[in-house]
Amino acid sequence: MSAGQPGEAGAGSIAIQVEGLRKSFGAVPVLNGIDLTVASHEVVCLIGASGSGKSTLLRCLNLLEPISAGRISLWGHDVTAPGVDENLVRRSIGIVFQSYNLFPHMTVLRNITLAPVRAAGVPRAQAEEEARALLDRFGLASRENEYPDRLSGGQQQRVAIVRALAMKPQVMLLDEVTSALDPELVAEVLDLIRELAAGGMTMLIATHEMGFARDIANRVCFLEEGLIIEDAPPAELFTAPRDERTQRFLRRIIAAGRL
């Protein structure tokens, strides 16, 4: 990521390019050659059964997992090459996890300002001002001095998203961010993500919420056994899936009443 901040890339330029990505945990292959391209301002949803590799793919993109083979480029910069400053890469890619992973010993405000202050060197006063603006925007203004365990799951997850946004990432990776939530709390988190999409955020979203994926995604990728089986606009993938494996998956989802 030497050639300046990548954020200025215009619409249509390639934000993420994944080529032949493989990842094994020991002898267990999880990703078996993923090829994926995400353009700037595009929202791509990853669907597929648990264990199909969605989460691992997102974690690899954030460099949380070392990859076994292949290449990941962000705005044309190979971030899997040796000598890349992974901390710098991660600052431009936010990731939000299923289990929120807020820091329990810090207030909401400290959770959000920690990385801007300690990783990006933003002065604390400025970081707090920006954090308050974000909290305000997402209806969490009154929560800045709370500790995470005093918040509902939906609030915690929204704080986790704000925490990632505070680093002003160019891409957001969302890893089943509503899967741990009570059903009545899902909507508030999905609304926030819709707002981000409307604002032009480039996003790669692993989700089990098929209806949401159909609404929000420009493209939907169906994963099975560590491969992207089908990659199509939602209207196409959900109504006329071409691959037999996608059809089978969607039949099970429909049978379960999830679509």
Partner 1 sequence: MAGSGPPSANTFLASGRGPRLLSGGGGRRAAAVSTVSTVVVLAALVAGFLLAPGSAEVRHTFFSPHNMWQSFVGNPSKGYYSVGEALWLNVRMFLVAEVFILIFALVLALIRQSTSPVLFPFRVLALVYVDFFRGVPVLLVVLAIGFGVPALRLPFVSAQSTAVYGTVALIITYSAYVSEVYRAGLNSVHRSQTAAARSLGLSQFATLRFVVLPQAVRNILPPLLNDFISLQKDTALVGVLGAIEANEAAQIYSSTVFNYSSYTVAALLFLLLTIPLARFTDRLIDRDRQRRLAGAAT
Which spans of this chain sit near partner 1 (rule: CB under 8 A)?
A: 59, 62, 64, 87-88, 90-91, 94-95, 97, 99, 101-105, 107, 114-115, 118-120, 145-147, 149-150, 160, 163-164, 167
DSSP label at residue 191: H
d(CA 119, CA 114): 8
Choice between 130 and 147, CB closer to partner 1: 147
- Where does the chain show beta strands of DSSP type E? 14-25, 28-39, 43-47, 69-74, 77-78, 93-96, 171-175, 202-206, 219-224, 227-232
Cα–Cα distance list, 252 to 15, 44, 230, 239, 247 (Å): 33, 22, 17, 14, 9
Pull the structure tokens for residue 38: 């995400």
Please state the closest distance from residue 95 (CB atom) to partner 1, in A: 5
Choice between 9 and 172, CB closer to partner 1: 172
Choice between 63 and 250, CB closer to partner 1: 63
Please state the closest distance from residue 145 (CB atom) to partner 1, in A: 5
Pull the structure tokens for residue 75: 């705005």
Choice between 175 and 230, CB closer to partner 1: 175
Choice between 41 and 163, CB closer to partner 1: 163
d(CA 151, CA 157): 9
SS3 for 91? helix
With beta carbons less than 8 A apart as the criterion, state whether 175 and 203 touch. no
Rounded to 5°, the CA angle 247-70-58 comes to: 55
Please state the closest distance from residue 144 (CB atom) to partner 1, in A: 9
d(CA 197, CA 96): 15
Please state the closest distance from residue 92 (CB atom) to partner 1, in A: 9
Choice between 90 and 214, CB closer to partner 1: 90
